Amino acid sequence: MDGTGPVHPSLNSSYLPNALGNHDESDEEDEESEDHSLSASLLPQNSPPPLAVRYSPEDSYYLVYIIFFLMGIGSLLPWNFFITAKHYWLYKLSNDTHHSGKEEQHSDLSDYFESYLSMASTVPSVLCLILNYVLVNRLSSKFRILSSLFVILLMFAVTTVLVKVDTSNYRIGFLVVTLVSVAIVSGASNIFYGSIFGISGRFPMRISQALISGQAMGGTLSALASIADLAMAKDVTDSALAYFLTADVFILLCIITYLLLPRLAYSRHYMAAAAAATCSSPGGMSEDEGAGNKIPPLRPILRKIWLLGLSVFYVFSVSIMVFPAVSSGIQSVDKDSGSPWTTTYFVPLSCFLLYNVADLFGRIATAWLQVPGPTSKVLPVLVLCRSVMVPLLMLCNYQPRDHLRTVVFNHDVYPVLFNCLLGLSNGYLGTLPMIYGPKVVHRELAEATGVIMSFFLALGLAVGSALSVLIVHYI
């Protein structure tokens, strides 16, 4: 058995045995011909073959792969920039903002800010993904993607302006404005991600994998930017200004590259093939003809993907329970030494950077290794095993501790190891069901299935963030 496992007979025509790997042109043609025999069985007897059967253009210079990778970065970049700007939020929400920003000033607002941030972001996410599913056949994907990107850009511009506004006498007001901005950005980001992930379901799996890997790269870039700002910026507000301006520029880049996508032959080919499959389905119409202003059928999709969806839900529930609310509160046991490593850089490196790098490696690994397969019962078992990460991180040197006094793992190596395991397992076990989902349904349902899988992801984040508040209060 190779690394990818056998092809399941119910997978649609985007699922190839080596769809994520690098292979030469002759191998790709063989895989395409084998794959099209699967798709032919899904179409009515007298319908013309989809465009994918006739020819398969190349992804010249991997431009489509790169664009979806950038879209993946952009889909989580706002969230990652919000959660990794920890020193900035501590400064703005502290009891005394008339200091240099080098010392950490704490207040009730700053101590629980990560938990508030998680709740403000995930609840609107679930609601917006439900709305996205309802509108998937009513509003074009182009409209949903571009409008959500412009909303994200607008709200991030507001956040950038507030960096240089003195809010020391309006900390509650600043918190409310920030959480409202987070809620709007989160909702728009999930409409964007649900739509772009739905579109990626029309392509081979390597494109979905590029999108999901891009998300982890977004977290890695934001963590690196945060560390660089801490090292180079003399003032915390200057650091945050450069930080959020970087996000503004990148969101603008996402808008430009998305507009380039329809101009590429590779993307036009698979988009047209998906439209042909929709036309060939019973009662189907092309998107340009109004693709039925109907809500996609939910029951047949859930029959195929319910176990994959629950796996995604639980993976991200466990992750968000402890990241970043718990993991960012774990301090070095040698913090009193005054070393920059134990004071300034321990949390950015051990929590944010290591987690995101491990998450990135886990997602990239799915390009070569797709085990367990989409119907394996081993996958949900491995997902359940991740539950052990919650108590492991709780028993590290999280501070302050009000109830759970015992610190079992009283060494800096433990949070480093646990964050790496959390990120690696999140990346691998979270990506597999996400890329499997749109491939186990008929091609014309791939986009709607992508939106549903994104809903399971956002629901997991919402439940996990609510539980993270309880965990932080319990510790």
Round to whole Å and give the CA distance between 287 and 308. 27
* pLDDT, tens digit, 9 for 90 and up, residues 129-178: 788 888 877 888 889 999 999 999 999 999 999 998 888 888 888 889 98
More confident residue, 114 or 60: 60
State the pTM of this model: 0.75
Q: Dihedral, CA atoms, 460, 461, 462, 465, nearest 10 degrees?
A: 120
Q: Which CATH number fits domain 59-474: 3.40.50.1110, 1.20.1250.20, 3.20.20.10, 3.40.50.300?
A: 1.20.1250.20
Q: How confident is the model at residue 55 (pLDDT cuts 50, 70, 90)?
A: low
Round to whole Å and give the CA distance between 128 and 185. 11
Round to whole Å and give the CA distance between 128 and 113. 23
Largest CA distance in the chain: 77
Three-class SS of residue 330? strand
Round to whole Å and give the CA distance between 70 and 254. 7
Q: How confident is the model at residue 31 (pLDDT cuts 50, 70, 90)?
A: very low
Domain parsing of the chain, residue ranges: 59-474
Q: Write the single-letter amino acid at 156.
A: F
Round to whole Å and give the CA distance between 203 and 239. 40
Q: DSSP state, 351?
A: I
* pLDDT, tens digit, 9 for 90 and up, residues 328-361: 999 999 888 878 888 888 988 989 899 999 999 9
CB 148 within 8 A of CB 211: no
* pLDDT, tens digit, 9 for 90 and up, residues 224-235: 877 887 777 677
The mean of the pLDDT values for the chain is 80
* pLDDT, tens digit, 9 for 90 and up, residues 264-289: 999 988 888 766 765 655 544 444 44
User: pLDDT value at position 433?
Assistant: 95
Round to whole Å and give the CA distance between 271 and 333. 54
Q: DSSP state, 101?
A: S
